[in-house]
Amino acid sequence: MKKLVIFGVGLIGGSVTLALKKQANAPLCVGVGRNQASLDQALALNIIDEATTDIAAALSDAGMVLIAAPVAQTKKILQSIQPHLNRKTIVTDAGSTKTDVLAIAKEVLAEQAKQFIGGHPIAGAEKSGPTAAMDDLYIGKNVVLTPSPDNNPDDIQQVCQLWLDCGAKVIEMTAEKHDGIFAAVSHLPHLLAFALVEDMASRDNADELFQFAASGFRDFTRIAGSSPEVWRDISLANKVALLDEITTYEQALAKLKQTLAAEDSDKLQASFERASKARNDWANRKK
């Protein structure tokens, strides 16, 4: 691949280009965005080689397009590139939801939807924008691809290689399975963190509460510092699966509330022990 076009030059997209620039045969990285200041900043930080608002020029001879903008912008971006998309250019994304994105790609790209391959890097930070980009963000991290039966196997391999070149591990699954898993392990935790901090901040004694909040509160709520726009879009895009997870969590919390009200210390400890073991086992596997 000689030319990679990036829509969204912040943490996710910028970290891709910085990782690729460490390779011997790095592609020309062209940034396209809605914010000229972000593009200028990305140029200054050597995240991209060129910046443009001319989509036709950007897509000329492009080997691949990576959409690394908030999920809600995906349809508008696909609509903007569709008239200029040649049949050899692969299109992929880095969004946190996949069922909706694949449906949008089929709607907008029509026959060329077979050139679209959904992707989701399982990496990130609570910071955003070009200054948050880092060349080692994806090393050892999982990237999920959700190809469709219509995709060309060679195209899938090229998207896979893009992420391998960033140091990631690539896993394939269906879009539906992806959205169910990440509603549970990512989208719900973010929603809970946002909800807890909003609740604390809205109380009359908020200043006092935050004065005494320490490492436990900091660790639990770290992800509430993430981009509100991004997580608004993700929550709405994966609404069905997320609502199911909220219901399941409400049931678990209700059981815990009953156990606490009954002062059932054995049951409470057993619940905590199961959770502690599961969490520690997971953490050890991640080492």
Q: What is the pLDDT along the chain (287 residues), one digit of tens a residue?
A: 899 999 999 899 999 999 999 988 899 999 997 778 889 999 999 999 999 989 999 999 999 999 999 888 999 999 999 999 999 999 999 999 999 999 999 999 999 999 999 999 998 776 778 989 999 999 999 999 999 999 999 999 999 999 999 999 999 999 999 999 999 999 999 999 999 999 999 999 999 999 999 999 999 999 999 889 889 989 999 999 999 999 999 999 999 999 999 999 999 999 999 999 999 999 998 77
Q: Where in the chain are all domains bearing CATH 3.40.50.720?
A: 3-173
- Nearest-angstrom CA–CA distance, 180 and 184: 7
Residues of the chain with CATH 1.10.3660.10: 178-286
Give the bridge partners for 35, in sequence order.
none
| HSE-CB for 137 with a 13 A CA cutoff | 26
Residues 6+ apart with CB under 8 A from 205: none
Q: Which residue has the tokens 């156990």?
A: 259
Task: Specify the CATH architecture of the domain 3-173.
Answer: 3-Layer(aba) Sandwich (3.40)
pTM over 0.85, yes/no: yes
pLDDT of residue 277: 97
Domain 178-286 sits in CATH at 1.10.3660.10
Beta bridge partners of 144: 120, 171
pLDDT at 125: 72
From the list 146, 66, 135, the residue with the least C-alpha distance to 100 is 146
- Say what the pLDDT of residue 126 is: 66
Of the candidates 242, 227, 156, 223, the residue with the CA atom closest to the CA atom of residue 8: 227
**Which residue is it, tokens 């935790």?**
189
Burial of 43 (C-beta count, 10 Å sphere; 0-12/13-18/19+) = middle
